A and B are shown apart, each in its own frame.
Chain A
Amino acid sequence: MKFRLYISLFFLITLWAGSSNSAPRVVSAGICADTLTLSVADPSQIIALTKAAADVELSPYIDKVQKGKAHTVSFEEMFLEKPEMVIVDEFTPDMTIDVYKRLGFKIFKIPPLKTFDDVKKWQEKLAVILEQEKPRAFTIPVAQKQKNILASVYRPGGYSPGRFTNVDYILKLAGYKNLASELALEGAQTISLETLIYYNPELLITDAALEGKYKNGFAQMLLRHNAISEKIDKSLYIPLARWFCLNPRSIYAFRRVWRYYR
């Protein structure tokens, strides 16, 4: 009799311990969802991230990505792994989200994070959901006085982030005028080389690696064009990963830009 009681107690304790320690296991299905998840979650909670999480040019938390975790998850795998939640963002196609919902998965959607305050707020929300401690606080930079210096971020293919982008937010926070924003461009749009040369921004920033296999492709070659080669040589390089999705590590981008003309 006593033996049965011990056995039952043992199983009850094991079950209780198992349930209390099992923080929700999640799948992230968007590049910015990856970034926020990696900044909050315990690595053992993450079933899968998108491929972008392992891309050195796009992922600020590549050091936290466990081997084999960054891959596209098929719906079949989802059923096998049974995540408690799927974290999505603005880059997750609506169609994919609908399928997840129809299959009964719980969805946590992160909206576009436009300010460092947003980052802090959503980190805390996610930490509660993932049953993690409150994330380590980071100091939100104070908006700097306008320097009246024209800056431009120029990317392969002539793309330049304008209004309502993270880059615009960081440039303005650091006290610069953003050329694309001054030209009333919204989102990441193209600026022709002619326009760039004509407005001649004092600070030119690049955030794409110019070397590698594709350095002579047309999109990349644009940044090696004779017309701007001198300016590119003097340009400031901020890795794209630092500000593609706003995150605590984006502070680095702010500091680099701010100090350049301090």
Chain B
Amino acid sequence: MKNLFLILLLVSFFFISLGMGDAPLSKFEIIQSLFDTKQTPARIIMLELRIPRILLAIAIGFALGLTGAVMQGWLRNPLAEPGLLGISGGASFGAVLAIYFGATSVSMLTLPIFGMAGAFFAGMLLLVFAAAHSSSLSLILAGLALQSLMSALAALALNLAPSPHAALDIAYWLMGSLADRSMLHVKIALPFILCGCLILFYTGKSLQALSLGEETAYTMGVNLARLKFIVITATAFCVGASVAIAGSIPFVGLIAPHVARTFVSADPKKLLLPSALIGSILVLAADSMVRALPLGYDLKLGVLISLIGVPFMLAILHSHRKMVGG
């Protein structure tokens, strides 16, 4: 029932979002353009710009919300999310490398592949650290260090960029945006995101068992090493493809599971779908806001979500301190 409500909310945001954009199209023009047979400017705007953008916002938000819920369940830490653990940073760095070395001119597919490879590499580094240090606090700190390292490497690429075009592209990455994406981007990202999400949903039962503790999960037949590998690989698929298309969009993986927890039980398995749907709603709503704000300049989606995400993270820390009586 709650999931149905979230789906209805997402559908209504979909229709609201269709009306948002720089071109002042009336409701009539929007509806007419969808059934028009001629290539009018309104039809081009709807089919080539707004709809791909909305589809990407839904898919990317879904992937980021889901990965956040899975990571929090897997690490049993409410602060865990791909951005804070350096996996998004790894994906950004991978994509930046692809742009820096001009690999994107070989094929458009190189971008998500480099993004996924970067995310996978960062995830593996984190795993190596996780094997040595069992405390979740040290893991989060290691993740933050990893994220800083990846950001520094991306900044280094920007610093050494051989051409102003490369520098401009890298700068775009670091800010995160869905502006002017096309159906081509949807086709590139969607298969990887779908594949990653399916695998992550498959981990639900293991995460449920893991919430009872590692030893109990082990006795219940959960192969922890295999689970870690699956989570990192599927997260790399989702985050790598998302970051490759939209750049860095932080905090969605952190916010979505927390919002979901307020009206769904804390059961990691039951949290997966609502977190993913809330992620979609969040990214779609933020992207609609980016398009609706009459600022006169191009506000980046990643910047807006960060502005929302930082106070949210501080609020979580504050409520956590209250709970433990700090």
A-side residues, CB < 8 A to B, are 156-158, 189-190, 192-195, 197-198, 200, 208, 212-220, 222, 225-227
Contacts and interface: CB of A to CB of B under 8 A. Distances in A.
A192 B20 CA distance: 13
A214 B297 contact: no
Nearest to B184: A226
Nearest to B41: A197
B45 A198 contact: yes
Interface of B: 21-25, 41, 44-45, 48-50, 99, 102, 104-105, 107-108, 111, 163, 165-166, 168-169, 172-173, 179-180, 182-184, 297-298
A186 B163 CA distance: 25
A208 B108 CA distance: 20
B49 A227 contact: yes
A187 B24 CA distance: 24
Given A194-B21, A208-B165, A218-B172, A213 B41 contact: no
A40 B104 CA distance: 41
Nearest to B246: A218
Contacts of B297: 189-190
B45 A197 contact: yes
Contacts of B44: 197, 227
Contacts of A156: 165, 168
A192 B180 contact: yes
7 contacts: A158-B298, A192-B179, A197-B45, A212-B105, A214-B169, A217-B99, A220-B169
Contacts of A192: 21-22, 179-180, 298
B41 A219 contact: no
Given A194-B21, A197-B41, A225 B99 contact: no
Contacts of A198: 22-25, 41, 45
A214 B45 contact: no
A193 B25 CA distance: 14
B45 to A, nearest CB: 5
A214 B164 CA distance: 10
B312 to A, nearest CB: 28
A160 to B, nearest CB: 12
